[in-house]
Amino acid sequence: MPPLTDQLDLDRMGLKPGGGSRFEIAVRVGEFVFGHQHYSLADDPLPVLVDASRTTSGFVVRVRAKPQIEGPCMRCSDDFGLALKIDHSEVHEPALDGELASDYVEEGKLLNVAALVRDAVGLALPPSISGPLDEHGQCTACDRTHEQLLELGVAGEQDVAELEQREQHAPDPRWAKLRELEL
Establish if 2 belongs to a structural domain.
no
Confidence of residue 128 (pLDDT cuts 50, 70, 90): confident
Over range 45-73, report the average pLDDT.
93
Question: 119 and 149 share a domain?
Answer: no
What's residue 67's pLDDT? 96
Confidence of residue 147 (pLDDT cuts 50, 70, 90): low
* Confidence (pTM): 0.73
Question: 86 and 152 share a domain?
Answer: no
Question: 177 and 118 share a domain?
Answer: no
Question: 80 and 96 share a domain?
Answer: yes
Phi, psi of 29 (to 5 degrees): -105, -40
Question: 90 and 27 share a domain?
Answer: yes
Question: 57 and 11 share a domain?
Answer: yes
Whether the ω angle into residue 45 lies within 30 degrees of 0, i.e. cis, is yes
Q: Of the ranges 28-32, 67-71, 118-122, 152-156, which one carries the lowest mean pLDDT score?
A: 152-156
| Domain C-terminal end among 106, 124, 142 | 124
Question: 161 and 111 share a domain?
Answer: no
Question: 32 and 82 share a domain?
Answer: yes
Question: Which structural domain, as residue segments, surrounds residue 91?
Answer: 7-124
Angle among Cα 90, 71, 42 to the nearest 5 degrees reads 55
pLDDT in tens, 66-94: 999 999 888 777 888 889 999 999 999 88
9 closest CA partner among 48, 65, 61 = 61
Over range 118-129, report the average pLDDT.
90
| Domain C-terminal end among 91, 107, 124 | 124
Confidence of residue 159 (pLDDT cuts 50, 70, 90): low
Question: 24 and 43 share a domain?
Answer: yes
Over range 166-182, report the average pLDDT.
72
